[in-house]
Structure 1
Amino acid sequence: MTRLVISTSTFQSQVADLLPCNKYKKSQLTHSLIESTGLLNSFDHVISDFICSKDDLLQFHSKDYIELLMDNKYNTVLPYDVEESSWNELNEISTSWHESKNEAEFKRFTSREKLYEHFKQLSPKEKPINGKRSAWDALLDSDPDEEVQQNETLEGNAEIKATLMKEHNLEGDCPLFSYIPMYTQVVTGATLSLSKFLQPNSERSIAINWDGGRHHAFKNKASGFCYVNDIVLLIQKIRKNGFKNISYVDFDLHHGDGVQKAFQFSKNVQTVSLHMFEPGFFPCTGSLQEAKAGSSIVNIPLLHGLDGTFLKQLTKDIIIPVVEQHEPEVLVIQCGGDGLIGDQYNEWQLTIHDLSGAIMKLINTFPSCSVVLLGGGGYNEKVMSRFYNYLTWNIAFEYSKRPPSGLFLSSELNLLIPDHEFIDVYQDEQYKYWIYEQEGSSKYKTLRNDNKVDFVAELRAYYGHGLQPQLPHDVSEDNSPGTVHMMVPK
């Protein structure tokens, strides 16, 4: 038997959508679609509103970084983010839908301030770390509940502030945003809450947090829209539960650099990442050469245009064999969807069926392993809500003691998004669930696949017997199309 666990709620999804790259929609659309299709009824445990503490974050991240990131002065609407209408757009759509049904809508929080009021009721009381004040405290010295003043935040001691921001990379693609401490505690807490259901010698669990999977964050800094590495924190917690061997598999378009670096010297935590690897493409890591002999690093660097056929072959011939060699007791899978058709990156051409099929194949191959499924990249929020909903349905249909109906068993491409509070968001897609997979539709795109068939054989030869990397002697000199994957970006 398998126990199904998911962390999700209206509150969690609204907090997760404070993250700018979520466009105020991704998490809420996902949660609402999962709820509207009745999938939560198939889970044994639905976790809501779990909050982690600073001490939890310090199990991996540095004190100075966490003190800066978690400063309570940022639990407010920041002076450069006073516009509420964008964040509130889905609330207006929800209200209109419920009014049309003559229903009252009470679940949603109608402002970020009200979100924070609820958060304060849940949040654990924090104490200063080691009784010491951080550099950020010295810069912004005021009552922690006092509203941030523009002069303090944006002018203040500009030189010290600029130094701290640069050191911790809280600029560029990782700026401080309104209520970032709340966001950090809620999203990371949701991932960590899953760990209590992962215990040796107990029932197998499949546990999900689609708001997690922040694989780029490092010990001392943010990176790539990721502020706290909930994956690393979770794996550490799982190991403390008594598990020895853990395999982490990353399906995101981008290399899982933060997780790889955290466990690069570990024999017990295997990191497997398939990702686009071309000169200048973020984060410019993930080459084969990084998988040094004797390490547990497995990198699968790919090119533009990856399709479902190639992914299926990689899963069967590379991913599953390398994971089998590691003999994991727990699988942690990052399910980034930025390689799907319709994503704004437009680099890979995977369908929702393709990516879900690869993930399900991996899960089904290891029936004795507990599994954690986390979210990740994906920048078309309407595509991502479909993907996570469909993958959740697959998990529930395959493993639940109360499986859902056959809603998605049909191959009917004209299947419609079910009527629910956010149905109008899908209007410009004719409400069609599979419109991104329908050949001839305006949403379906075909790319040139630059990945060569013989690269799979090269990977098998490279990782070889016992998965000890054996780098071909001429890899660094060979510029032929078949081996371009192995080149390190200059």
Structure 2
Amino acid sequence: MTSPLYVYDDSLLKYRFHSKHPFNQMRLKMTTDLLMASGHLSASDIIKPREATDEELELVHKSDFIEAVKLAGEGKLSEEKMESYGLNTEDTPSFEGMHEKSRMLVGATLSAVEAVMEGRTDKALSLAGGLHHGFSGRASGFCIYNDSAVAIEHIRKKYGKRVLYIDTDAHHGDGVQWIFYDTKEVMTYSIHETGRYLFPGTGSLTERGTEEGFGFAVNLPVDAFTEDESFLEIFKETLEAAIRKFQPDVIFSQNGVDAHFRDPMTHLALTSRTFEEIPRFVNEMADKYTDGKWIAVGGGGYNIWQVVPRMWAQIWLSMKGIPAPRGPLPEAFMDQYGPKSPVDFPRNWEDVLTDYNDIPRREEISEKNRSMLTRAMLHLEEQ
């Protein structure tokens, strides 16, 4: 059993649209600092990311889109052209050095992939990645390049392995799904808030793939205000069924934590319990079905003070086989970030639920989710 590896460098913090944009990679540094302060991450666990090459980006992205990103980052692309590539929108505004800073995130994810696929470790984490809304020729939803899709195609092409992509972000993993929608060599699995209320509006139960990829796209849209019990029931039952059906060689998971009840951009009602259990269940599935091979990336998460560092830390702790901690966070971490926080800064690893409001329609929501689960399981049981 090898020790897991953690991909990090301060250069990964430079992917930043502007000071008021909700996508803030400071959450990556905060998570790293929390793990270091708690003694669960050391310098020997960390590997430096490399840059992705244009050739690697072209595994899934069109060359004219890559060229447009380069020009936009130099201020040399017309407004009309930028719009056609999904650049300089409200969600995904252009910024200086956009190509160079975006390819660093892809390179970080590829560094995690290569550490696992070349046998240096069984498990690797690159929290800088998880930009799952990027399309082959268009930026979308805070995402320029789609690091997960590039990494999965890299695993397919270079190593000839079958990849199960697991996406637990509150938003549907649309970019990854559509890129692999017609292949049976990748299964995309996304559990997310229903698109009736939330960007990108896709991810219905009936999106199942096309041509030889039919049945290899799995979507679990849960109702708004879904709570821990309902979410975890659906997740655990369907994920193992999907793994048994697909029989992957390696698991690649995207770990958005914006389904937390304190996240400002979604409508789910999950607590730290779910974010403790998700990575431990994925870890269990990897050990059971893929000889431990698991690559994990970050994703959504827009409450960087109260939510993201504690929830993301659980991914690394699960890879290390460490039970979810209880009680006070490290004093050094609280001293470093508590005074800077514009909101009440958490003091414990687990959520203190004084601000959690129980959902009046809880049973109705859970029943709707169970009905969706029944239909999803029927799809997974089809040959």
TM-score (norm 2): 0.87
Say whether 1:183 aligns with 2:96.
no
In the aligned structure 2, how far is the partner of 1:462 from the partner of 1:7? 35
Query: CA contact under 8 A between 1:10 and 1:31: conserved in structure 2?
Result: no
One-letter code aligned to 2:331 = P
Map 1:3-402 onto structure 2 (within 5 A): 3-12=3-12, 14-17=13-16, 20-23=21-24, 25-41=26-42, 45-71=45-71, 74=73, 140=76, 161-170=78-87, 171-199=89-117, 202=119, 205-291=122-208, 294-367=214-287, 368-382=291-305, 383-398=307-322
Query: CA contact under 8 A between 1:198 and 1:238: conserved in structure 2?
Result: no
CA separation of 1:163/1:426 partners in 2, compared to 1, >3 Å: closer, same or farther? closer
Say whether 1:416 aligns with 2:329.
yes
5+ residue gaps, structure 2, are none
Coordinate RMSD, CA, aligned: 2.6
In the aligned structure 1, how far is the partner of 2:102 from the partner of 2:195? 31
CA separation of 1:36/1:434 partners in 2, compared to 1, >3 Å: closer, same or farther? closer
Query: CA contact under 8 A between 1:209 and 1:375: conserved in structure 2?
Result: yes
Instruction: Give the corresponding residue for 2:381.
Output: 467
Instruction: Give the corresponding residue for 1:158.
Output: none
Q: What is the CA-CA distance between 1:205 and the residue it aligns to?
A: 1.3
Q: What is the CA-CA distance between 1:284 and the residue it aligns to?
A: 1.1
One-letter code aligned to 2:263 = D
In the aligned structure 2, how far is the partner of 1:37 from the partner of 1:29? 12
Q: What is the CA-CA distance between 1:356 and the residue it aligns to?
A: 2.5
One-letter code aligned to 1:328 = P
Q: What is the CA-CA distance between 1:346 and the residue it aligns to?
A: 4.7
In the aligned structure 1, how far is the partner of 2:346 from the partner of 2:97? 33
Q: What is the CA-CA distance between 1:37 and the residue it aligns to?
A: 2.3
In the aligned structure 2, how far is the partner of 1:356 from the partner of 1:320? 18
Matched position secondary structure for 1:274: strand
Can you list the C-alpha shifts for 1:405-448, whole angstroms capped at 9, x where unaligned?
x8x533x3xx134314334234842551347x2232xx434334
CA separation of 1:246/1:278 partners in 2, compared to 1, >3 Å: closer, same or farther? closer
Matched position secondary structure for 2:6: strand
Query: CA contact under 8 A between 1:16 and 1:211: conserved in structure 2?
Result: no
Say whether 1:456 aligns with 2:370.
yes
Q: What is the CA-CA distance between 1:242 and the residue it aligns to?
A: 2.4
User: Aligned residue pairs: how many?
Assistant: 369
Matched position secondary structure for 1:235: helix
Q: What is the CA-CA distance between 1:10 and the residue it aligns to?
A: 2.8
CA separation of 1:67/1:48 partners in 2, compared to 1, >3 Å: closer, same or farther? same
CA separation of 1:193/1:434 partners in 2, compared to 1, >3 Å: closer, same or farther? closer
Matched position secondary structure for 1:331: strand
In the aligned structure 2, how far is the partner of 1:231 from the partner of 1:198? 15
Matched position secondary structure for 1:272: strand
Can you list the C-alpha shifts for 1:137-184, whole angstroms capped at 9, x where unaligned?
xxx4xxxxxxxxxxxx7xxxxxxx132112101122111023322321
One-letter code aligned to 1:447 = I
Instruction: Give the corresponding residue for 1:438.
Output: 352
Matched position secondary structure for 2:353: coil
Q: What is the CA-CA distance between 1:453 and the residue it aligns to?
A: 3.0
Q: What is the CA-CA distance between 1:384 and the residue it aligns to?
A: 0.5
In the aligned structure 1, how far is the partner of 2:187 from the partner of 2:226? 24
CA separation of 1:243/1:457 partners in 2, compared to 1, >3 Å: closer, same or farther? farther
5+ residue gaps, structure 1, are 79-139, 141-152, 154-160, 399-405, 470-490
CA separation of 1:274/1:465 partners in 2, compared to 1, >3 Å: closer, same or farther? closer
One-letter code aligned to 2:221 = P
Query: CA contact under 8 A between 1:266 and 1:295: conserved in structure 2?
Result: no
Can you list the C-alpha shifts for 1:44-103, whole angstroms capped at 9, x where unaligned?
6422242222222122111111011123x736xx8xxxxxxxxxxxxxxxxxxxxxxxxx
In the aligned structure 2, how far is the partner of 1:466 from the partner of 1:350? 25
Query: CA contact under 8 A between 1:341 and 1:445: conserved in structure 2?
Result: no
Query: CA contact under 8 A between 2:3 and 2:121: conserved in structure 1?
Result: yes
